[in-house]
A and B are shown apart, each in its own frame.
Chain A
Amino acid sequence: MFFNVEGVNKKSEIKQEYDIVIIGGGPAGISAAIYALQGGASALVIEKAIEGGQMNLTDIIENYPGFKTIKGEELSTLMKEHAVHFGADFYDGKVVELKDEGSNKMVVMGDGKAIKSKAIIIASGSNPRKLGVKGEEEFSSRGVSYCASCDGHFFKNKKVAVVGGGNTAVEEAVYLSNIAKEVYIIHRREKLRADKLYQDRAFSRNNIKFKWNSVVEEIKGKDKVESLVIKNLKSGEVYEEPFDGVFVFIGLVPETSFLNTDLFDFDEYGFLITDENMETKVKGIYAVGDVRKKELRQIVTAVSDGAIAASHAIREYINEDQAPSTQSIDLTK
């Protein structure tokens, strides 16, 4: 039994101006705050749900150096405490608008508060991608779920499907196999994309079964999920099979709803494109962590992004006089 206390002491008295405002309190945002503060800048982290972000949804984290195994909730707490220790302010709010007035930026929140800053770091993360099949909306929260730690308990001794083949899907399938009677991983390819460690764990569970080369075409039921229509992509066979629930882990949709899409560059999936300093097309606005276009979305890469963005912001926009010379050396002649 654990007792979380982190949500309690969110600071509601904040200043009107910070050197750096960070949108999102997951690992990328918290790391940015720590590097900002250690670099002498003031930093505010705005979080709309819970510090640590999606780490809170992970039961056990085993790939963050220094912690052989740690609860997602625990690492979230430790990271937040680390930032608070160095003087980060946290605010419980939702960003609705960004304004760019050159060297001054403005972050506007849902409650009307507007905070001025010299740089903004977008660490807003992402949401689960939906399947986009018939019945998904209708049975959302009636057997269709995107959070195993939240909703797994409702499927005690039941038969559930997990859609996806990446790390999250396989980890969550293993988690669910402790609760549910049977877990079927439905994956569109014939092998998993997840890291070998997670694959081995899934293969060793007797109650985890696989449906390879398969996709869910429809979710059916009366008041709640009762069955899935599944298509085997190889044989073309389409069949209906009873299921009590379906957990969807097929990737992420970046949270960028508060951004003016004309001002930024996005990739085809909507992730923000940055340069190697994590800076977006708009000078002084950075994107870090899951919201950014990149190959590997992990806690380690998130904290790396945050560090790079904060130190670049300090060099370029906060302590401008200390900026190293980056020009006028011609290496070709």
Chain B
Amino acid sequence: MEKLMDKETQNKVKEILEELTEPVQILLIKNDGEYSEIVEQLLGELKELDERIKVDIYHSDSEEVNKYDIEKDLIPAILILDSEGNDYGIRYYGIPSGYEFTTLLQNIIAVSNNSVNSFSDENKEKLSQIDKKMRIRVFVTPTCPYCPRAVFAAHQAAMLNPNITGEMIEANEFDRISFEYGVSSVPHTVIEVKENEDWVKKGEFVGAYPENSFVEEVLKAVE
């Protein structure tokens, strides 16, 4: 089978992954669709480039999947766990290709090194104090160069605070949910807070916001 990543990309990825300090465990929840097949191949190729990357694959129908808090109608789903299996709330729904591949690598490094570099100490403090269950859903397309910034901000917020889940949702693959959320420009970020077992939309914005504005939007959602 032809590789998804060409030789040059492979070499660059190898070099980037030298930054890893601890092993990471990537979890793929797949179904029988072609998108799942692509992600499975991609993660397989990634695993070959650095032995510290472990990949576990479960079918969405399997029992194992119930252990994880994921959206079962958004498959393929990727989770990035640390070597002890800790889940930081980092979610990818759909193929992390194009510009989004960047954030996948950034997240692998962040989880491996257990580091959050995207926020100032002051903003970290503010984000850590959120005590409600929150999900930050970032709708993207792989051809959008500004999207990774929005996605990584959501994922970094998730790493900081166990109450927060950060989701990348590939809008082409999941057009129904994108339509329901009224997405027609990306990156489109929706902030939802759980109230009585239901997710309630508390805020949304379009574009890659700078750090302070992003934090402000997130905090507004729990006011």
Contacts and interface: CB of A to CB of B under 8 A. Distances in A.
Interface of A: 1-9, 12, 48-50, 52, 56-57, 73, 94, 110-112, 140-145, 147, 149-155, 223-224, 245
A49 B184 contact: no
Nearest to A145: B185
Given A7-B106, A154-B183, A224-B182, A50 B98 contact: no
Interface of B: 4-5, 9, 12-13, 16, 38, 95, 97-99, 101-103, 105-106, 109, 117, 120, 141-149, 171-172, 178, 182-186, 188, 206-208, 210-212
B120 A111 contact: yes
Given A12-B117, A141-B188, A1 B171 contact: no
Given A3-B98, A7-B106, A111-B120, A153 B172 contact: yes
A140 to B, nearest CB: 7
23 contacts: A1-B38, A1-B98, A3-B4, A3-B101, A5-B12, A5-B102, A6-B102, A7-B103, A7-B106, A8-B16, A50-B146, A52-B145, A57-B145, A73-B99, A141-B185, A147-B144, A149-B143, A150-B141, A150-B147, A150-B185, A151-B186, A153-B171, A224-B184
B185 A2 contact: no
A110 to B, nearest CB: 6
Given A142-B184, A150-B143, A150-B147, A1 B210 contact: no
Nearest to B208: A49
A2 B97 contact: yes
B99 A7 contact: yes
B41 to A, nearest CB: 10
Contacts of A150: 141, 143-147, 185-186
Contact of B206 (A9, A57, A140): A140
Contacts of A223: 182
B211 A50 contact: no
Contacts of A142: 182, 184-185
Contacts of A57: 145
Nearest to B100: A4
Nearest to A148: B143
A71 B9 CA distance: 15
Contacts of B147: 150
A5 B105 CA distance: 8
B185 A4 contact: no
Contacts of A140: 185, 206
B212 A4 contact: no
Nearest to B108: A8
B169 to A, nearest CB: 13
A57 B171 CA distance: 18
Contacts of A4: 98-99, 101-102
